Structure 1
Amino acid sequence: MQNKFKLILLAFLFAGFTGFAQQIQMPQASPSAKIAQQVGLTQVTVDYSRPSTKGRKIFGELVPYGEVWRTGANSATIFNFSTEVMIDGKKVPAGSYALYSIPGKSVWTMVLSKNTQLWGSIGYSASDDLLRWTVPASKTSKKYETFEISFNKLTDNSADVSLKWEQTRVDFTLTTEVDPIVMADIQKQVIDTKTTNPALLYQAASYYFTNNKDLPQAYEWIKASTDSDPKYWTMHLRAKIELAMGLKTDALESANKSKAMAMEAKNPDYVGLNERLVKTIK
């Protein structure tokens, strides 16, 4: 009898625990979001939650001035960098960091923390800071109902990170190493191996030409590429390099070849590019 009573009690307790484990699915008050952006050769991801104003006064009230803010809602906002980056002129190693901020009326202090495990700013300690820097805060004409993090002003090696909520906006720039990595790769795959691969030769020539490096070397590579395996896009680059070197007759010939190949391939974009290039040459 006693054993039977114990079994009934255990069954009752198990049913109770199971009931507590059940949850009703409802929309999040501050939905989670994840954004990713390639900056140069670096993959940057941001995991954060997006609170809305909902008629409330945000900065100076809900988010007090002069106090550490989680820069979002719920768990801390997390940035991940696949390679080393630079922020405010300082190196940030590859890895994950929590982004905190201390809002002010005209200037914010931004904080990258090595502690990524906190719920918001509860338990935040300055001893975990990797980096602090200040950014100006500006007033926007548009009202942002929901907090937003975005990437803007993308270049080959940098991007601006923008934080916008209510009518306040702050931006900071992150930069990445690109040229040393690309040059090392060209050295390894093209120069050291003395490659004859047309695709690699084209890529190396394109990088040298675009970044104002050794133009005769770029020409040597693009000639080798187009002589062995001409394509309308490689011939177009050859024409541009020849024009930059003052070889107008050769440039005109290459541009016309590129145009003819593009027409055959039914690529109107390159047809137009070559037509405009021919006008420049003439």
Structure 2
Amino acid sequence: MKKLSVLFCFLFVGITQQTYGQLSTPAPSPYSTVSQVVGLTEVEIAYSRPAMKGRDIYGELVPFGSLWRTGANAATKISFPEPLSIEGKELAAGEYSIFTIPGKGEWTLILNKDAKVSVANYDQSKDAVRFTVKPQKTKMDFESFTIMFSDIKDNSAKINIIWENTLVPISITDPDVDQKVMAQIEEQIPTAGNNDNVYFAAASYYFENNKDLEQAVEWVDKAVEINDEKYWVMHLQAKIHAKLNNKEKAIEAAEKSKALADKAGNPDYVKLNNQLIATLK
């Protein structure tokens, strides 16, 4: 019985230690990832998010003029599978660590080729780029350190580093978007056959980027010829004809698009077509 009691105690202690070893508690600086397609390239940023917790941040917790890992725990990382331009600096595809040197009126932003480096073993010779940006004051305090994307356009966006009452904007661009899209159009249009989606996408790109509208209208007319039940395609057809000053064709396409949208229960496209028709009469 004594041996059994000892064995039971041993097992109990072992179970207790194992359970304790698996205990999960909230992280002081939770890990986070944020991603955004910029142009045709997905950009991902992985970082940890410390909180203010009543502390003064810049100039105190994060000293001015000192190298900072730009977050907590491991250095913040950014990765992208295609070459991009950051603040006008061209960067090869890959993964980089992000370091900053905060200042009162200017920040230095650093992308280092060693994605696993820390402040302790940071090697400046491995910097891919360095540049300076002007910080901005926010109207409210941000309790948690935040990195977010904004100002999303066809080939560009901004990365915003935000904490306390400071925002640091960084411009990022996919410089080869037009070249990539045009290459796809040249490759896919000749073999598109009855794929109305290809003709629609090509016509839409030409319309939105002020390219050859005569070619765009040929493609969108082809898309409608293949499938005349898509009100969004007909709306594009109406807009291209309108821009070419073909008012009668534009109104005709807009009326058809409006009727299809109404039948499909899409009031947004009904409104868009009404607005377009109003400008043409």
Asked if these proteins are the same fold (TM beyond 0.5), I'd say yes
Deviations 1:210-247 (A, max 9, x none): 11000100111111221232122211111111111111
**What letter corresponds to residue 98 of structure 1 in structure 2?**
S
Contact 2:192 2:198 in 1 (8 A): no
Partner residue in 2 for 1:170: 168
Deviations 1:170-219 (A, max 9, x none): 111101131111111001001x4364422211111111111100010011
Aligned length: 269
Deviations 1:68-95 (A, max 9, x none): 1000000110111122110121211111
Cα pair distance change 1:196/1:127, threshold 3 Å: same
Q: Does 1:201 pair with 2:182?
A: no
Partner residue in 2 for 1:79: 78
Which runs of no fewer than 5 residues in structure 1 stay unpaired?
1-10
Partner residue in 1 for 2:98: 99
Cα pair distance change 1:242/1:132, threshold 3 Å: same
Partner residue in 2 for 1:46: 45
With normalisation by structure 2, the TM-score equals: 0.89
With normalisation by structure 1, the TM-score equals: 0.88
For the residues of structure 2 that align with 1:234 and 1:221, how far apart are their CA atoms?
11
Contact 1:209 1:241 in 2 (8 A): yes
For the residues of structure 1 that align with 2:192 and 2:149, how far apart are their CA atoms?
39
Cα pair distance change 1:270/1:107, threshold 3 Å: same
For the residues of structure 2 that align with 1:184 and 1:134, how far apart are their CA atoms?
35
1:95-174 alignment to 2 at 5 Å? 95-118=94-117, 120-174=118-172
Q: Does 1:222 pair with 2:220?
A: yes
SS at match of 1:65: coil
SS at match of 1:123: coil
Following TM superposition, by how much is the alpha carbon of 1:25 offset from its aligned partner in structure 2, in angstroms? Answer: 2.6
**What letter corresponds to residue 117 of structure 1 in structure 2?**
K
Partner residue in 2 for 1:239: 238
SS at match of 2:191: coil
Deviations 1:133-181 (A, max 9, x none): 0001222231122111111111111111111111222111101131111
Question: What CA RMSD, in Å, does the superposition of the two structures yield over aligned residues?
Answer: 2.3
Deviations 1:44-102 (A, max 9, x none): 11111111122222212221111110000001101111221101212111111100001
For the residues of structure 2 that align with 1:164 and 1:92, how far apart are their CA atoms?
23
Partner residue in 2 for 1:7: none
For the residues of structure 1 that align with 2:156 and 2:49, how far apart are their CA atoms?
25
Which runs of no fewer than 5 residues in structure 2 stay unpaired?
1-9
Runs of 4+ in 1 over 6 A off after TM superposition: none
**What letter corresponds to residue 259 of structure 2 in structure 1?**
A
Cα pair distance change 1:194/1:152, threshold 3 Å: closer
Partner residue in 2 for 1:276: 275
